Amino acid sequence: MLHDRDIAQLLARLCPMHLAVDEQGRVMHIGPTLAKLLPDKRKEDACLFDLIEVRRPSGVCDMNALLARQRQKLSLRLRGHGGHAFKGVFVAVPGQGGILDLSFGIAIMDGVRDFELSASDFAVTDLAIEMLYLIEAKSAAMEVSRKLNQRLQGAKIAAEEQAFTDTLTGLKNRRAVDHVLPRLIDRGEAVTLMQVDLDFFKAVNDTHGHPAGDHVLQSVAHVLVQETRQGDCVARVGGDEFVIILVGEVDEAAVAHIAQRLIERIEAPIRWRGDTCEISASIGIATNAFGSGDTGETLWARADTALYAAKNGGRGRFRMA
């Protein structure tokens, strides 16, 4: 049967990666695509096992072993082609040897590229071309999605850079203060700027770790919001530095009262996972309420100086400029 030219041509068309052997394992004919993959010499008349190595199941290195494994899925490798793996199946033809049919399996992409195959090298019914199409189409779609993700990531970073919110505490941030303060002053509003700087905060971080430090900052933020009015601006402007802008005329005694309450509440021990964190705060205050003619910058500088004085006077105090 295998000597029949018609059968050989039929197989060449239907299974272009087949190989027909006689009972001794001698190659009778080779499908046109598989022939392209084999080294030039030693094709027909060669022994099957000199051309191809059966990797799985193990121990298939002669015709008897191969016959015993017929119709099973085989993992194979072409000798003389480092790395190229194939899958295949052997079907015996009683008394005449048999047919080994190969496929690239999952390694199709590398196989096609390395052996410069084209669509006509595959059987018309083979899904290889669809598979290649799909790999390429999916990579192209994935590339477009990847670019979209990159742009979204960029937009997110840009949005964060433009944000007015401190993500840890939910308070306003430095950028918000820089935006709001000059506008309030330009509008002729009376503003009182309180610079609140935490004392002993570094010790919390050093002793209890950064999660404890974050918790303390959040607790302080909570106090600052509770002790101020809705229209006031409360911001975290540095690691442990906060700013409160009181909007409208507030007399000195009321400001002093607020500052004192803030310090007392910030000094209250803060629980953290069974530990207690204790900090304090120094506050420097400056106001343009009485026609000081301050700009945002000078007001800020005066509050800074007052804060410095408060720190120098011992922690846990406030000073008015």
Partner 1 sequence: MHGLINRAIQCFVQDNYGFDRWQSMCFAAGLDEVEFEAMLHYEDELTDQLLDMVSAALKSPRDTVLEDIGTYLVSHPNVEALRRLLRFGGETFVDFLNSLEELPDRARLAVDDLVLPQLDVREVDPHHFRLTCRFPRPGFGHVAVGILRTLADDYGALVFLEHNGVLAGAEEIDITLIETAFAKGRSFEIGARAV
Instruction: Using CB under 8 A, list all residues that contact partner 1.
Output: 109, 111-114, 116-120, 129, 132-134, 136-141, 143-145, 148, 151
Contacts with 130 (C-beta within 8 Å, 6 or more apart), sequence order: none
Shortest separation between residue 122's beta carbon and partner 1, angstroms: 9
Give min distance, CB of 141 to partner 1, in A: 5
Q: Rank residues 10 and 135 by Cβ distance to partner 1 and give the closer one.
A: 135
Q: Nearer to partner 1 by C-beta: 17 or 99? A: 17
Closer of 114 and 297 to partner 1 (Cβ): 114
Nearest-approach distance from CB 188 to partner 1, in angstroms: 36
Backbone phi and psi for residue 83, each to the nearest 5 degrees, phi listed first: 95, -25
Name the minimum Å distance from CB 124 to partner 1: 11
In terms of residues, how long is the chain? 321
Tell me the closest approach of the beta carbon of residue 142 to partner 1, in angstroms: 9
* Closest CB 143 distance from partner 1, rounded Å: 5
Closest CB to partner 1 among 89 and 107?
A: 107
Least distance to partner 1, CB of residue 156, Å: 15
Place of tokens 């700009």: 295
CA 189 to chain CA mean position, Å: 46
Smaller CB distance to partner 1: residue 12 or 307? 12
With contact defined as beta carbons under 8 Å apart, do 36 and 121 qualify? yes
Q: Which CB, 66 or 128, lies closer to partner 1?
A: 128
Smallest distance, partner 1 to C-beta of residue 14, A: 18
Place of tokens 């004392």: 199
